[in-house]
Amino acid sequence: MYDRPLLLPDGTLFVNQESAFAARRASHLNRKDKNRQALIDATLDCIAEIGLIRTSVSEIISRAGLSRGMIHLHFGGKDNLLAEAARYANEQYYNVLNKNISAAVNDSKHKLEAVIKSDLSPEVLNARDASIWHEFRGAARTNAEIARFSDTRDQRLHDLVGAMTTRICIEEGLPDAEIAARDYTTGLIALTEGLWTDYLLHPTKFDRKNAERVVFRFLSGVWSGSFNEFGAV
């Protein structure tokens, strides 16, 4: 029954089956991946705009312009799609963060400055992404799958910041550098979290520069040799 020529939707006609299947598979895979990503994007849009509670399958497919069954086809269900969207959003966050760290002058205080400025930059702290982060935060406590990708002390960020603060504390010659560094790490991450929440709940009052100054004021207080209220010195 496969012994007939194959005509693809794009008009290509294959007489030889081997190449026909390969081409068809490729086109399918492309379309498959596109659809998969479209669902993730639509899900994130949805979460940002109307919140996780109202993010229904109907909303998602309506935004993606795809069919109802596709969510189960690609992800096996809505919950898995949400988890996948959380994973993807988290990945995007780290991509930006790593890019910004790489661009910084190569010493701990400038690297740390880059982390803070990245977290408060429009690339990271914008209405859509902050909303998504906020929604996933809300769900993380009661949804194990989402919790994995939405975790303040997420090992990556914590280790990253921890390494920087440790070196800075040592360079500053602080007694008990290690304990101090752990405290500053916890504090810095908590502070950023709190400022994100502030941004979301008061988008009009929030001022990016003020927020940076708030952080750097605290840092200049404890590391007066490395920071002033505008950043690393």
Partner DNA sequence: GATGAATGAGTTTTCATTCAT
Partner DNA sequence: GATGAATGAAAACTCATTCAT
Q: Which parts of this chain interact with a copy of itself (CB under 8 A)?
A: 1, 4-7, 9-11, 13, 50-54, 131, 134-135, 137-142, 147, 151-153, 180, 183-184, 186-187, 189-195, 197-198, 200-202, 205, 210-211, 213-215, 217-218, 220-222
How far apart CA 12 and CA 27 sit, in angstroms, is 12
Q: Which helix (H) or strand (E) holds 218?
A: helix 208-222
Phi, psi of 163 (to 5 degrees): -60, -40
How far apart CA 55 and CA 43 sit, in angstroms, is 7
Residue 66 contact, options DNA, a copy of itself, none, Cβ 5-8 Å cut-off depending on partner type? DNA
Query: Of 128, 132, 45, which is closest to residue 87 (Cα–Cα)?
Result: 132
| CB of 11 or CB of 103, closer to a copy of itself | 11
Longest dimension (CA), the chain: 80
Choose one: 56-64, 138-146, 186-194, 210-218; the region binding DNA (CB under 7 A).
56-64
Site track for DNA across 9-48, x = CB under 7 A: ---------------x--xx--xx--xx------------
Residue 72 contact, options DNA, a copy of itself, none, Cβ 5-8 Å cut-off depending on partner type? DNA
Instruction: Examine residue 67 and tell whether it contacts DNA (CB under 7 A).
Output: yes
Of the chain, the end-to-end C-alpha distance in Å amounts to: 74
DSSP per-residue letters across 155-174: HHHHHHHHHHHHHHHHHHT-
Task: List residues near DNA by CB under 7 A.
Answer: 24, 27-28, 31-32, 35-36, 54-59, 66-74, 77-79
